[in-house]
Structure 1
């Protein structure tokens, strides 16, 4: 079974389906199961020898040389505050090589178990009772147990803090003055991604409304439409993540396009997916654009371009 997973993960990453999700399930230091979207996984392999990093004090345990690349290796247990994997036990462990936010890295985990095929509407946000200070972005039930999906963007943001300020070349005084007239809807299940986007866009000058997932954003848009408001006139644009519990960005975009009350809303899909991203899927669901996470100037430039188009059309 393990060899099957190792052989097929890279092929399965090509799958992009509307509101569909394939998770690679893995284990850390207990019998709790965790999941990562297969589409973000480049490959899985047994942990090779790691080259140590001098004076390394974070959960990054070294560098792995994989297919001509040198890739940092992150002990995922330690990164989320659990017991790190001892150096003498690494040979029996695995690396999940993934791409996030234009960065390739490998997660050191104890076990890799299976690929699980499900729907995004079966994936739920973590219970509010556990508080905001955690590394969970979603949970789902499988065979009577809760599988936890980690907020990898939060983990990486803690390790590699990302600036959110927009440069003066992008946010000129004229742009900031014009931006104050506009309102942007952002949609993302990762709290760190929402905060990064909100800080950058508010630095640009626009007003921001944030939704935690596609379902929440859809409900908000429907409430506006039910009251007789055109969401495309309320919001300059909607910038949405693709991978979210309850409703993904593809489904959200499709539903917006199918509803005549909001079909003119400008939609940009914003995701940490990289590598083999299926641009044709973005076009198929009717999105106006695609933006890779996370660069504040790239994000601001997309909004500025939209502001200029709206201004020219007046």
Structure 2
């Protein structure tokens, strides 16, 4: 099973091409689910689990993988169904999100599919606000079109691991904090949880967040300002973008911005839960100014302060 992912670190040629690879799996029954391969470290058969007293009810236990203790989340239970029943088809998908390693207990793991982000769609609004999907897509299998549900893992983790948006003492630069009130930042992220985290952090400083649910929506906002004769630098301090998003990912968005002379100087921070040694290379390839791993409120504030300082210095 691990051989499925042997070439993950060679997949950086997808960057800037608006492509992604999805790992398909089941959570009991025929329905297909998926997560982005970039977030997967490996897939193994479910090992023995050790129960941890007083742990979160959606944590099934801890697995020992080559000497590392990894918390295991019953993914079926975490997205609102009855817990997945353990059987011979169960697997453990080991992932790294937001600088933490965790395993997801799933059923049968299928294979990896290579797709374009414009084949990935937002869930229909009719599913309500409390679902655990970040996107959906469709695949043809044996002549039949199958729906694939892409799980919003950030939402799952946020309900298990509490993310504090408190800004630590000493982080705020008192010399410029008054300059932050009224600043605007464009933020593109398909996860409603991630958008809320960024807004909750920066709103403490009086910063206004202009939200976008994907790269194309963010690009259309930028192009709208240009069409109206506005200077991008006068409208926003910076763009903060997620890496993986339906329709247009953060890498393609950055490439589009850099290729347009009306917005090519926009300061862009890639704020992503993706982990791995390839991250900095991906950022440099498409031309982001900085890489910020989710979710670090202090580092987020520091990134905004650093950009504001540079802008104030250039204006003097």
Q: How far did 1:135 drift?
A: 0.4
Distance between the aligned counterparts of 1:246 and 1:296, measured in 2? 27
Q: How far did 1:85 drift?
A: 2.4
Residue matched to 2:124: 127
Q: How far did 1:92 drift?
A: 3.5
Residue matched to 1:287: 288
Q: How far did 1:80 drift?
A: 0.7
Q: How far did 1:9 drift?
A: 1.0
Residue matched to 2:151: 150
- 1:25-64 aligned within 5 A: 25-64=24-63
| Deviation string, structure 1 residues 106-150 (Cα, Å, up to 9, x no partner) | 000011001111011110111111111110000001111210000
Residue matched to 2:170: 169
Residue matched to 2:112: 115
Q: TM-score, normalised by structure 1?
A: 0.95
Distance between the aligned counterparts of 1:106 and 1:159, measured in 2? 13
> Are the equivalent residues in 2 in contact too, given 1:176–1:205 (CA < 8 A)?
no
Distance between the aligned counterparts of 1:196 and 1:228, measured in 2? 32
Q: How far did 1:285 drift?
A: 1.2
Distance between the aligned counterparts of 1:48 and 1:91, measured in 2? 11
- 1:209-220 aligned within 5 A: 209-220=210-221
> Are the equivalent residues in 1 in contact too, given 2:119–2:247 (CA < 8 A)?
yes
Q: Give the number of equivalent residue pairs.
A: 308
Distance between the aligned counterparts of 1:175 and 1:32, measured in 2? 52
| Deviation string, structure 1 residues 229-282 (Cα, Å, up to 9, x no partner) | 121221100010010000000000000010111111110111001123331221
Residue matched to 2:262: 261
Instruction: Give the gaps of 5 or more residues in structure 2.
Output: none
SS at structure 2 position matched to 1:280? helix
SS at structure 2 position matched to 1:170? coil
Q: How far did 1:153 drift?
A: 0.1
> Are the equivalent residues in 1 in contact too, given 2:23–2:111 (CA < 8 A)?
yes
> Are the equivalent residues in 2 in contact too, given 1:186–1:211 (CA < 8 A)?
yes
Aligned match for 1:101, one of 98, 102, 113: 98
Distance between the aligned counterparts of 1:90 and 1:155, measured in 2? 23
Distance between the aligned counterparts of 1:96 and 1:303, measured in 2? 35
> Are the equivalent residues in 2 in contact too, given 1:166–1:297 (CA < 8 A)?
yes
Distance between the aligned counterparts of 1:90 and 1:171, measured in 2? 51
Distance between the aligned counterparts of 2:267 and 2:129, measured in 1? 31
> Are the equivalent residues in 1 in contact too, given 2:75–2:84 (CA < 8 A)?
no
Distance between the aligned counterparts of 1:300 and 1:263, measured in 2? 23
Distance between the aligned counterparts of 1:90 and 1:53, measured in 2? 21
Residue matched to 1:15: 11
Q: How far did 1:68 drift?
A: 1.7
| Deviation string, structure 1 residues 16-53 (Cα, Å, up to 9, x no partner) | 21211000000002211001111110000000111111
Residue matched to 2:222: 221
> Are the equivalent residues in 1 in contact too, given 2:214–2:248 (CA < 8 A)?
yes
Q: C-alpha root-mean-square deviation of aligned residues, in Å?
A: 1.4
Residue matched to 1:299: 300
